[in-house]
Structure 1
């Protein structure tokens, strides 16, 4: 599948690995893919992010991702659903951090690697890459560009989709900005 990626999409994947390495994370996550997309310049995804104002709100996006990581990856939608059951995620996070230290629920820190220094892709990231192929095929495109990665991130349930939607980049909005091609 990687051979179908455009140079821009390959740069995003490589950039995501770099973000994971700099963060000291064991795996490349969808959050790393989003951060690498926000680094892109001169691509369709960069245009869409700029047009929707996501690029201008990069600090807010990064802060929202960090807060979700602190909560152990619980998205705002999950937090709302749990609140409906009477479960206060904020209180749980506070109690865990009181007992075990700040960031105790973060789950992506580096594990010891024996043979290589390569970062593996988390299951969720692999699913985003697979979804990008489905998006490209659905749009009638022969290659997978960074815009397909962005669209895939907007449809996969989870923290990244929630953060993008909260910052004006829902699937429908990204499609609207990108147009039909």
Structure 2
């Protein structure tokens, strides 16, 4: 599949690996791909970010992603669903952080000791792999021969999850991105699967 990626899409993937390394994450996630997309300039995705005002609100996007990491990767929708059955995620996070320190529920949290890596190469989470596969389906559905950064961005919004939620909170849904990047309606929007 990687041979179908444009140079720009390959840059997003390598940029995502770089973000994972800078954040000392064990794996590459959708969040890292979003950050790599935000770094790019002169592409359809960067045009969409600028048009929707997201480039100017990058700090807000990064804070929203950090809040989700603090909640152990739960989206606001997940937290609301748990609240519906009487589980207060905010209270649980506060109690855990009182005992174990701020950020203790982050998926990449450690007990204060430096991490030791056996391998320097970081793998992609199943969700991130799914996003890359979804970007292929989006490209094929649009009749495009190659996968570009715009397809990766659309794939990040095509299903539930923290990144899709953060983007939607900032005005970037599948539909708004599709209209901004390509004009008009999508020829075949993928089903919202996770």
Name the TM-score class by shorter chain: over 0.9
- Segments of 5+ residues of structure 1 without an aligned counterpart are none
> Displacement of 1:51 after TM fit?
0.8
Q: Runs of at least 4 residues of structure 1 off by over 6 A?
A: none
The yes-or-no answer on 1:93 pairing with 2:93 is yes
Q: Which residue of 1 aligns with 2:55?
A: 55
SS of residue in 2 equivalent to 1:41: coil
**Distance across 1 between alignment mates of 2:149 and 2:100:** 39
TM-score with structure 2 setting the length = 0.89
Equivalent pair of 2:103/2:109 in contact (CA under 8 Å): no
Number of aligned positions between the proteins? 180
The yes-or-no answer on 1:179 pairing with 2:174 is no
Q: Which residue of 1 aligns with 2:156?
A: 153
Q: Which residue of 2 aligns with 1:162?
A: 165
SS of residue in 2 equivalent to 1:92: helix
**Distance across 2 between alignment mates of 1:125 and 1:25:** 13
> Displacement of 1:84 after TM fit?
1.6
Q: Which residue of 1 aligns with 2:26?
A: 26
Per chain length, whose mean CA-contact separation is higher, i.e. which structure has more relative contact order (CA < 8 Å, sep 6+)? 1
> Displacement of 1:109 after TM fit?
5.1
**Distance across 2 between alignment mates of 1:86 and 1:179:** 43
Q: Which residue of 2 aligns with 1:42?
A: 42
Q: Spell out, residue by residue over 1:68-104, the C-alpha distance to the aligned partner (whole angstroms, 9 max, x if none).
A: 0010001011111112222111001001111111111
**Distance across 2 between alignment mates of 1:28 and 1:48:** 23
Q: Which residue of 2 aligns with 1:131?
A: 134
Q: Spell out, residue by residue over 1:36-84, the C-alpha distance to the aligned partner (whole angstroms, 9 max, x if none).
A: 0000100111111111111111000000000100100010111111122
SS of residue in 1 equivalent to 2:99: helix
From 107, 113, 117, the equivalent of 2:117 is 113
TM-score with structure 1 setting the length = 0.95
Equivalent pair of 1:27/1:108 in contact (CA under 8 Å): no
Equivalent pair of 1:30/1:160 in contact (CA under 8 Å): yes
CA RMSD between the two structures: 1.4
SS of residue in 2 equivalent to 1:127: helix
Q: Which residue of 1 aligns with 2:191?
A: none
- Segments of 5+ residues of structure 2 without an aligned counterpart are 187-194
Higher share in helix = 1
Q: Which residue of 2 aligns with 1:68?
A: 68
Cα distance, 1:8–1:37 mapped onto 2, change above 3 Å: same
